[in-house]
Chain A
Amino acid sequence: SQQGEEDPQALSIQEGENATMNCSYKTSINNLQWYRQNSGRGLVHLILIRSNEREKHSGRLRVTLDTSKKSSSLLITASRAADTASYFCATDQAGTALIFGKGTTLSVSS
């Protein structure tokens, strides 16, 4: 069954604005990962946050994890047109496969 569920399904913003995407999941996890996919291409790993971590940063990316609410958010600051892509959260439960959500499609216009 699907574990991660991203929200919103689609997001349109202007260059320079911040973009926030959310991910909710159902069961306990070891870690949660965010991936980006440009149209028709493979996924690119962005960031991994473990279940005992609350926040991680990587460049313009900020990820938070709230295990009590079983949710995570990905914030992209000062967005650029090149950030236009689909963003997926993936959850890792011990002993099972990495489970991906359906993704958030982000469109950044200049």
Chain B
Amino acid sequence: ETGVTQTPRHLVMGMTNKKSLKCEQHLGHNAMYWYKQSAKKPLELMFVYSLEERVENNSVPSRFSPECPNSSHLFLHLHTLQPEDSALYLCASSQEATNEKLFFGSGTQLSVL
């Protein structure tokens, strides 16, 4: 266990559905991240939060909406997704938003039909 828990582990949704991914870290870290991992492509940073404030938004489509209610929890709200959004979505945390030593959750494998 890395101390970062993601739910659900698998999610299948239609293009008109609305769903949310949840991430919780038990490490006392101040920074949390969402990454997208597609087949044959490098990990793509989506969002970074430091002390609940968004500090990075990597030109992500508005159909992905992050929420960080406190430093331990991070959500990714999904709506009107496209099939190309099917991927493994990984949450990570680190002590500070310094890009050093990220702790990753096991990810949510998302399939958009």
- Report A's interface with B, CB cutoff 8 A: 2, 4, 31, 33, 35, 40-45, 48, 88, 92, 97-103
Q: Which residues of B contact A33 (CB under 8 A)?
A: 100-101
Q: Which residues of A contact B41 (CB under 8 A)?
A: 102
Q: Contacting A42 at CB < 8 Å: which of B42, B56, B101, B107?
A: B107
A-B contact pairs, 25 of them (CB 8 A): A4-B42, A33-B100, A40-B88, A40-B109, A41-B107, A42-B2, A42-B4, A42-B90, A42-B92, A42-B104, A42-B105, A43-B43, A43-B90, A43-B92, A48-B100, A92-B99, A92-B100, A97-B45, A97-B58, A97-B99, A98-B99, A100-B42, A100-B43, A102-B42, A103-B42
Sorting the interface of chain B by its residue count into under 10, 10 to 19, 20 to 34 or 35 or more gives 20 to 34
Q: From residue B55, how far is it (CB to closest CB) to chain A in Å?
A: 10
Known A2-B42, A40-B106; further 14 A-B contacts with Cβ < 8 A: A33-B100, A35-B102, A40-B107, A41-B107, A42-B6, A45-B101, A88-B42, A92-B99, A92-B100, A97-B99, A98-B45, A98-B99, A101-B42, A102-B41
B90 nearest in chain A by CB position = A42
In angstroms, Cα B6 to Cα A102, docked, is 23
Q: Which 6 A-B pairs have the closest CB atoms?
A: A42-B104, A100-B43, A97-B45, A98-B99, A43-B104, A92-B99
In angstroms, Cα B88 to Cα A40, docked, is 8
A-B interface pairs (CB < 8 A), number: 54
Q: Are A88 and B43 in contact (CB under 8 A)?
A: yes
Q: Are B102 and A45 in contact (CB under 8 A)?
A: yes
Q: Are A97 and B90 in contact (CB under 8 A)?
A: no
Among B47-101, those with CB < 8 Å from A are: 48, 56, 58, 88, 90, 92, 99-101
